[in-house]
Amino acid sequence: MPFVIAIDGPAASGKGTIARALARHFGFHHLDTGLLYRATGARGGDPVCAARALSPADLARPDLRSAEAGQAASRIAAIPEVRAALVAFQHRFAAQEPGAVLDGRDIGTVICPDAPVKLYVVASDEVRAARRAAELGADPAAMLVQLRDRDRRDSERAAAPLRPADDAVLIDTSDMGIDEAIAAAIAVVDRARR
């Protein structure tokens, strides 16, 4: 049975960096589930049709890391039919041997609630805004407004809101360097695999 690591948290908290590092460290497959929603939003047109027609090539689009794609993803992720169309894709991905790391907003609560490791990665709003602004070459103050708006939408949506699973391990990366955050996550996984 594949070993699944579910990582959730708000945008720019460090969950993607941690997820990629864990996948490399343990030799697991990695899926940034936000790309599914970003790619669906970037396709345009009817979001439900776009989600149903999503292909692996759509996940390789160079514009998926833009702020616009992130906002579109947050908006369409609130549509239950879009979510339903993408859940099966995520379940198939999580079933790959020897294991998989999935990061997103509802992995530990909805997609893989039985995952043996669930992490909830957070950072202060100001730290997240500074990180995302540096990544995109944007204004930190404007990014702070965008992140808070997205957090509100993601946390208040009726379908699978952003929240930690009851048994998730919290990792606050506000005052951590990348190596320290990765080491903390590896330690959690190592304990679970014993």
Longest dimension (CA), the chain: 48
16 known ligand binder: yes
> Is beta strand 29-32 parallel, antiparallel or unpaired with respect to 99-104?
parallel
Give me the residues paired with residue 10 across strands: none
Contacts of 117 (CB under 8 A, 6+ apart): 3, 4, 5, 6, 169, 188, 189, 192
Instruction: Copy the structure tokens of residue 10.
Output: 């708000």
113 known ligand binder: no
21 known ligand binder: no
40 known ligand binder: no
- H-only helix segments in 58-115: 67-76, 80-94
73 known ligand binder: no
Instruction: Copy the structure tokens of residue 128.
Output: 């997240």
55 known ligand binder: no
116 known ligand binder: no
74 known ligand binder: no
10 known ligand binder: yes
Binding residues for ATP: 9-17
Binding residues: 9-17
